[in-house]
Amino acid sequence: MPGRDADLAYPRLKLFTRLCFVWGLVIVVRLFQLQILHHDEYARQAQQQQEHQIEVRAPRGVILDRNNQPLAMSVAVDSVCVNPLRIPDIAVASEILSRVLDLDSGELRARLASAVEARRGFLWIKRKLTLEESERLRAYNFDWLEFRTESSRYYPKGALAAHVLGGVDHEEKGNGGIEQFFDKDLKGTPGIMRTTADVRQNVFDLKVYSDPQPGTTLQLSIDERIQYVAEQEIAKAVKEHHANFGTVVVMDPNTGDVLALANYPSYNPNEAPTDKASFEARKNLAVMAPFEPGSVFKVITLSAAFETTNLRPETMFHCGNGSFTLFRRVIHDAHPYGMLSAADVLAKSSNIGAIKIGLMAGNENLYNYVKKFGFGERTGIPLPGEGRGVVRRLDKWIASSIGSVAMGHEISATALQLARACSVVANGGRLMRPRLVLGKRVAIRHR
C-alpha cells in the first residue's frame, strides 16, 4: 500500500534530517570553539610540541694582566648532539660514539633509548670535545650527527697565577678566585636558539633569536713576569726548607696593587682535580690561611712605640744576654745580646728587645696599633674565602700577652694582611686596600 508506506517514511526522513542538522550544528559549534574561542591556546600547545628552545652559552670575558697579557680566555670548541629518532641502530651508534668520545656505552645507549621513547628530537652527546675527538667523529660523516660550536675556558699560561684566577666547572661557572668572585660579570648573556620539528620530531628549521654576548673583560693588577718569579722562588724555598706549603704576596705599597700572589703547591686550572691532593692545592693560602706571624710582627711593635712614646732608633735596650723573665715566663733570644739600639732590635730580631719596646708602648697602645694596621679584619680583596685572622680583645689579654703579641704570637694573620701592614710602613703611614682589578671593559652588545 503505497500511501501507507509514504506516511511511515516521512517521519523517519524528518528525524534523520533533524539528526543531521543537530550533528552539523555540533560540528560547527566545535569548530567555532577550536578555531575562534580557543585558537590561541591550541596554537600555543602546538608550538610547544614543535618548538624547543636551546640556550647558547656566551663566551666568558677575557682576564688580562696589567700589561694586557691574556691569563684566561674562551676558545671555540665543538660539541656534538643528535636527533635520536633519526638514528638507524641505537646499539651500533652508542658503541661507536662511546669508543670515540670515551663514554660509557651502556649509559649512552640508555640515554638514547629514553629519548626515543619520549619522542625527543634533540639530545646532547658530549659537550666541548677535544680537537682529536672532533676530527675522529667528523671522519664518520654520519648524517644524524650534528656539531655545534661552543666556548671552553682556556688558561694560556697554565698554572701561572692559578690561585688568583681560580677556575670554572663543567658548566663554565666560576668555582674559585677571580672566576668565582666576578662570575656574573664574566659569564656574559646567553643566546637563544629555537628548533622546529615535525610530528616525527625531525628538526626542519633552526633560528637564532638572540646572539650570545661575551662577558666583561677584566684587567688585573698582576704582572705576569713578577708572578712567574714569585712562583719559582716560593716553590724553591718550600723545597729547600722541607716545608709542606708556602705563600708570597708582592704589593706596591703606594697604590695597593697586588703585583703577584703565589702559593705552593699550585695547580693547572686547565685540568680538573682528580684526588684529595689536587683539591688541597687549589686553596688560596695567601688569603684563606691565617698563621702566627712571628718575628716579622716586630715591625708593628716598633711602629706603635715610635708613634706613642719618645722611642727613637738610637734608643738603647739591654737584652739580658739572651734571657729575660716576664711574669714568671722565661723568654730567650736565638743569640745572646747585651745592649742593642731599637734599630738593631729589629735588625737582629731580638725577642727580648721587642718585648721591652712593647712594654714601653703599653697594652692599650699596642692593641690599638695592631688594629690600625688592619689585623683582625678582612682586607676586602676581591677573592672568595678571605680570612680575618685573630686579634683577641684587650680584655681577653693575660698579663704576659703583651710579651707574646710584641714578638708576633697570640695573634694570627694572613700573608696578604702582613703585606698590607708592611706597606703602611713603606708608604709613610697609609693603610691601603689591596687592589687586584685595575678595570673592566664591557663587550659591545649586538642587537
Higher pLDDT, 405 or 6: 405
pLDDT level of residue 305 (50, 70, 90 thresholds): very high
Residue 442 has pLDDT above 80, yes or no: no
Tell me how crowded residue 260 is: count the other CB atoms within 10 A of its CB: 24
Condensed to tens digits (0 to 9), the pLDDT of residues 147-204 reads: 888 888 999 999 999 999 999 988 889 999 999 999 999 988 877 766 666 555 555 4
Give CB contacts under 8 A, 24+ apart, made by 338-341: 340/316, 341/313, 341/314, 341/315, 341/316, 341/317
Report in angstroms the alpha-carbon separations of 67 from 7, 292, 369, 385, 406: 107, 35, 36, 27, 40
What's the mean pLDDT in 371-393? 95
Cell numbers representing residue 54 in the block: 636551546
Report in angstroms the alpha-carbon separations of 188 from 65, 133, 151, 213, 443: 20, 28, 12, 6, 9
The CA distance from 243 to 240, in Å, is 8
How much is the mean pLDDT over the chain? 87
What's the mean pLDDT in 268-288? 90
Q: Which of 99, 93, 106 is nearest to 133 (CA)?
A: 99
The CA distance from 96 to 140, in Å, is 10
Which pLDDT belongs to residue 446?
43
CATH architecture of structural domain 290-413: 3-Layer(aba) Sandwich (3.40)
pLDDT level of residue 269 (50, 70, 90 thresholds): very high
Which pLDDT belongs to residue 30?
67
> Hey, is 54 helix, strand or coil?
strand
The residue extents of the domains of the chain are 290-413
Query: For the chain, how big is the Rg over CA atoms in Å?
Result: 37
The CA distance from 77 to 62, in Å, is 16
321, amino acid identity: N
Which pLDDT belongs to residue 122?
82
Sorted by sequence, the CB contacts under 8 Å of residue 99 that are 6+ apart come out as: 105
DSSP secondary-structure letter at 168? Answer: B
> Hey, is 361 helix, strand or coil?
helix
What's the mean pLDDT in 304-310? 95
* CA angle in degrees (0–180, nearest 5) for 285-287-293: 80
Higher pLDDT, 172 or 243: 243
How many CA atoms lie less than 13 Å away from 14 in the CB half-sphere? Answer: 6
What one-character-per-residue DSSP string does 212-268 give? Answer: -B---EEEES--HHHHHHHHHHHHHHHHHTT-S-EEEEEE-TTT-BEEEEEEES---
